[in-house]
């Protein structure tokens, strides 16, 4: 135990590893520091180990090696029912034989609070989730969104150190999901609890989190605030998994302070920000977001250019997706705002696509692993 409680991260995963069969590691060396009150999302494809990390923190899975510390205190040897961690389950897990009021009061009853205290807290939380008139009902009599709110309140009512959410909105339809995202954020801002949130839905992760840890193959690929993750992906997996990316392959021709010049395979020379590349002569992939690429004149002469042939376009509404192909067969997607000044294109037309160097990243390697 160190004395500087103020500087110590509230929750720490240190070199956490997990294997079920003593052969393959589901979680390989997981490290994460979480500050008190932070909203952290573990994002990744299914089977990437994110839920396992949550289960280890909740105490439903053993840690194979490494340690998990809450406020400097080792939790791996504490029984799940003594950890004081709230959890919202994917299928709500409300007790069907108890009313909403009894469900909410259950953790308080376990903690041997007095009847008056319990009643008062339950009413307060019912008001918080705006279900004052539903306290006497059974979970089966509520809609999916209402049950989700009860599950959330039940995970918060006993004032846990940390609240875990395992794909809590997975069973809701799109509209309800957006409402609930807002609801969770509102409660988080209001009550200031620490959240570890697991999802495979990147929009959910981007809109709600303070920081996102992107998981793949049991390893955190990048842990950063949403805008950093999107604008400055650390590697090809992240660039591919978060949002959409155009990828141009080439080799490093010159290295500067924080940017590189890349000779593309079709011969063009472009500059890009330095990510996790870069040695002279090494192969690299330049990644550009579709909305940063343009074929209009809005960038003028500034920036990189590459020639491509127009293939087809899809009308989406607020924007139009244009598909292009470079001379050596790389596919490029351009998202252009629905803008009447855009030049008309016919299939086969050759045109220059432009982007700003600071909107592109030179990433290591050339084969992006396909997101599952």
| Nearest to other proteins of 95, 182 (CB atom) | 95
From the CB of 174, what's the least distance to other proteins, in Å? 16
Whose Cβ is closer to other proteins: residue 98's or residue 224's?
A: 98
What beta strand segments (E) does the chain contain? 11-19, 25-34, 39-43, 65-70, 73-74, 85-88, 162-166, 194-199, 211-216, 219-224, 246-255, 259-264, 269-274, 283-288, 304-315, 319-326, 331-337, 350-355, 360-364
Q: What are phi and psi of 41, to 5 degrees?
A: -115, 135
Q: Is 96 in the site for other proteins (CB under 8 A)?
A: yes
Out of 10, 92, 125, 295, which residue is the one contacting other proteins (CB under 8 A)?
Answer: 92
Q: Can you tell me which of 64, 72, 78, 171 binds other proteins, judged by CB under 8 A? A: 171
Closer residue to other proteins (CB): 131 or 278: 131
Give least dist CB 134 to other proteins, A. Answer: 15
Looking at the chain, the number of H-run helices and the number of E-run strands are 8, 19
Residue 87 found at the interface with other proteins (CB under 8 A): yes
- Binding residue (CB under 8 A) for other proteins from 42, 85, 131, 288: 85
Tokens of 348: 């086969």
CA dihedral 60, 64, 70, 72 (to 10 degrees): 160
- 127 Cβ contact list (under 8 Å, min separation 6): none
Please count the residues of the chain: 372
Q: Which of 18, 50, 147, 149 binds other proteins (CB under 8 A)?
A: 147
Q: Burial of 267 by CB count in 10 Å (0-12 exposed, 13-18 middle, 19+ buried)?
A: exposed
Q: Is the peptide bond before 278 cis (omega within 30 degrees of 0)?
A: yes
Given candidates 18, 101, 149, 154, which one binds other proteins under the rule CB under 8 A? 154
- Interface residue with other proteins among 45, 47, 72, 144 (CB under 8 A) is 144
Contact residue for other proteins among 20, 65, 74, 95 (CB under 8 A): 95
Beta bridge mates, 308:
326, 351
Enumerate residues 196-215 that contact other proteins by CB under 8 A: none
Whether the CB-CB separation of 74 and 67 falls below 8 Å is answered with yes
User: Does 319 engage in binding with other proteins (CB under 8 A)?
Assistant: no
CB neighbour list of residue 90: distance below 8 Å, 6 or more residues apart: 166, 167, 168, 170, 171
Only one of the segments 16-24, 103-111, 122-130, 250-258 lies at the binding site for other proteins (rule: CB under 8 A); that segment is 103-111
**Does 30 participate in binding other proteins (rule CB under 8 A)?**
no
CA 319 to chain centre: 24
Stretch that binds other proteins, among 29-37, 40-48, 85-93, 245-253 (CB under 8 A): 85-93
Q: How far is the CB of 371 from other proteins (least distance, A)?
A: 28
Helix, strand, coil abundance in the chain, percent, nearest 5 = 25, 35, 40
Query: Residue 133, interface with other proteins (CB under 8 A)?
Result: no
Residue 210 · residue 185 · CB < 8 Å: no
Residue 92 — left, alpha, or beta (φ > 0 → left; ψ -120 to 50 → alpha)? Answer: left
Least distance (Å) from other proteins to the CB of residue 205? 23
Give the end-to-end CA distance of the chain in Å, rounded to a whole number. 41
Nearer to other proteins, 102 or 201 (CB): 102
Q: Is 22 in the site for other proteins (CB under 8 A)?
A: no
Among residues 78, 93, 224, 356, the one that binds other proteins under rule CB under 8 A: 93
Check residue 138 for interaction with other proteins (CB under 8 A).
Answer: yes
What is the contact mask toward other proteins in residues 53 to 72, using x (rule: CB under 8 A)?
Answer: -----xxx------------
- With CB under 8 A as the contact rule, the residue among 106, 193, 215, 324 that binds other proteins is 106
Binding residues among 113-132 for other proteins as defined by CB under 8 A:
none
Binding site for other proteins (CB under 8 A): 58-60, 80-82, 84-87, 89-97, 106-107, 110-111, 138-140, 144, 147, 154-155, 158, 171
């Amino acid at each position: 135990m160190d004395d500087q409680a103020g500087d110590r991260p509230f929750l720490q995963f240190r070199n956490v590893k997990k294997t079920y069969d003593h052969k393959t590691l589901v979680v390989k060396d997981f490290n994460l520091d979480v500050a008190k009150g932070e909203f952290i999302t573990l994002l990744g494809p299914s089977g990437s180990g994110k839920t396992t990390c949550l289960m280890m923190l909740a105490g439903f899975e053993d840690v194979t090696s490494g340690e998990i510390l809450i406020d400097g205190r080792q939790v791996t040897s504490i029984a799940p029912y003594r950890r004081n961690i709230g959890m919202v389950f994917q299928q709500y897990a409300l007790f069907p034989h108890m009313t909403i009021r009894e469900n909410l009061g259950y953790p308080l009853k376990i903690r041997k609070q007095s009847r008056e205290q319990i009643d008062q807290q339950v009413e307060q939380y019912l008001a918080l989730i705006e279900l004052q008139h539903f306290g006497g009902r059974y979970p089966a009599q509520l809609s999916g969104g209402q049950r989700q709110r009860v599950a959330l309140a039940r995970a918060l009512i006993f004032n846990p150190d940390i609240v875990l959410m395992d794909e809590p909105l997975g069973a809701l339809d799109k509209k309800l999901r957006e409402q609930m995202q807002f609801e969770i954020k509102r409660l988080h801002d209001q009550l200031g609890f620490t959240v570890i949130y697991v999802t495979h839905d990147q929009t959910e992760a981007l809109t709600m989190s303070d920081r996102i840890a992107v998981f793949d193959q049991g390893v955190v690929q990048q842990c950063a605030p949403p805008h950093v993750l999107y604008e400055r992906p650390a590697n090809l997996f992240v660039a591919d998994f978060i949002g959409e990316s155009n990828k141009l392959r080439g080799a490093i021709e010159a290295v500067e302070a924080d940017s590189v010049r890349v000779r593309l395979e079709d011969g063009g020379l472009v500059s890009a920000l330095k990510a996790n590349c870069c040695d002279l002569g090494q192969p690299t992939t330049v990644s550009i977001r579709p909305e940063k690429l343009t074929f209009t004149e809005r960038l003028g002469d500034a920036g990189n250019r590459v020639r491509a042939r127009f293939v087809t376009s899809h009308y989406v509404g607020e924007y139009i997706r244009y598909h292009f192909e470079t001379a050596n067969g790389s596919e490029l997607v351009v998202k252009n705002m629905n803008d009447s000044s855009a030049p008309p294109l016919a299939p086969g037309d050759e045109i220059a696509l432009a982007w700003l160097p600071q909107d592109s990243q030179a990433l290591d390697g050339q084969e992006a692993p396909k997101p599952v």
